Amino acid sequence: MDDERVSLPRRLARRVRLAHVAAIRARLVRPLDGRQGSVAGRHPLRVLLIGSGPVVGWGVGSHDLALPGAVARSLAAATDRGAVVDVVPHPSGGVRKLHRMLDAADIDRYDAVVLSAAVADALRFAEPHAWGTQLHRLLTDAHRRGPRTVLWLGAQPIRSIRPYDTPSGRLADAHAELLNAVARATCHDTGSLFVPLAAPPRVGGRRHRTPGDYLFWARQIVDALAPALQECAAQRAVPTPQAAARVGAIERLKLSRRGGDVRLEGIVGTAKRTLGTEIAMFTVLDDAREWPLASTGSVLESIPIEQSACIHTIQTPDGMVVLNAVEDERFAGNALVAGPAGLRYYAGYPVEAPDGTRIGALCVFGRAPRERADGEADLDVLRELALLAQRELWRWEPTAEV
């Protein structure tokens, strides 16, 4: 039903009833952990989910079980590449709010951005023409900022959301279909992808949403997303991490206060044992030096940034391997290579702060050169372990310290 044909009192009454249901929904569980889902793999694709509705993760307690984790797993399965899916959720954000969120997000480092606000605006009975104009501006701006692929999530049937399975929900359902039609045309005009989410199969129980629901939606999203990403064969350019950005990210994480961490030490120890190297470290780089946040087999407290191998690693799209350092002009004269340590082999994978700034690397060093096939296999392991180390880094709560 066209919202303009409904009287103002009835529209206000509907909004009051729907606001009451929204207050109930606001008490539902939703993820409060690190805002990322990931699957390790070569040349990982990066996707940003931003907005409200399914992006928030209502009904589950972890983003791994919500849409970010489900999209990461589905995308990795569809492309045979790694996937890192970040999320910037807002419980009730509409198109206007998304524009402000987009302004604050560093989206040029992503291969795709997925935007979601249709459910929130359908429940508000947004005026379709003005809403379409705002959406056109949002999608155009998203494309201008750099992602190769921009995808808009259409509203799923409103009555498939348990709190809205009411007569008022029926009216909102009709309005959602109207907004979806506007969104489909707007996506066509702006060169964006449009995915109208279907209602997930209902199962027994009283849970608002289940991990199965998010996997159901993730497959719909990836069916549209994967072909578009595979058409872009060129690798995404990796922005060179500026020293000032690293310093700021390190300070926000308060890493200078962080002492020994059993979990990080365990990850580093696993890298050393698994890859059979003499040294393994989780390094952090500021503007002047590199130091180990966790290490095994090394007694170095820090080295000048000029002697760092990890400074090169954080500038690569997918990690770095040096098979024999004496044959690499970047490192042949390095004191760790030419001096008593006699290091020859290096492999490292970047580690990021929550805002995406690359601040260090998980790396291993050996005293004997290796073959290229061995180096590639080692890098596969480091990808997995670097993501684990990154999550541990993000879990630390520096504000809890006195």
Tell me whether residue 387 is exposed, middle or buried, using C-beta atoms within 10 angstroms of its C-beta: 0 to 12, 13 to 18, 19 or more. buried
Terminal-residue alpha carbon distance, the chain: 57
| Calpha distance 282→292 (Å, rounded) | 6
| Calpha distance 335→270 (Å, rounded) | 27
* CB-based contact 144:96 (threshold 8 Å): no
Q: What are residue 202's DSSP bridge partners?
A: none
- The residue among 333, 5, 368, 317 whose CA lies nearest residue 174 is 5
DSSP-derived letter for residue 198 is P
| Calpha distance 237→78 (Å, rounded) | 22
* CB-based contact 135:186 (threshold 8 Å): yes
* CB-based contact 360:398 (threshold 8 Å): no
Which helix (H) or strand (E) covers residue 104, if one does?
Answer: helix 95-104
- The residue among 56, 123, 117 whose CA lies nearest residue 91 is 56
| Angle in degrees, CA 77, 207, 64, rounded to 5 | 30
* pLDDT digits 0-9 by tens, 314-342: 999 889 999 999 999 999 988 889 888 89
As given in the structure block, the two tokens for residue 59 are 């009904």
| Calpha distance 325→346 (Å, rounded) | 8
Phi, psi of 309 (to 5 degrees): -80, -30
pLDDT at 14: 59
Q: How far is CA 110 from the centre of its chain?
A: 9
Q: Which segments within 260-356 are labelled E, that is strand?
A: 279-285, 289-296, 303-304, 320-322, 345-352
| Calpha distance 311→331 (Å, rounded) | 12
- The residue among 34, 106, 31 whose CA lies nearest residue 394 is 34
CATH 3.30.450.40 residue window(s) in the chain: 243-395
- Residue type, position 256, single letter: S
In the chain, % helix, strand, coil (3-state, to 5) comes to: 50, 15, 35
Helices (H), 323-367: 335-338
pLDDT at 167: 75
As given in the structure block, the two tokens for residue 83 are 């996937």
Top-tier CATH class for 243-395:
alpha beta
pTM above 0.85?
no
Intervals of the chain under pLDDT 50: 1-5, 233-234, 399-402
pLDDT at 372: 92
CATH 3.40.50.1110 residue window(s) in the chain: 8-233
Buried b (16+ CB within 10 A) or exposed e, 310-343: bbbbbeeebbbbbbbbeebeebeebebbeeebeb
- The superfamily in CATH containing domain 8-233 is SGNH hydrolase (3.40.50.1110)
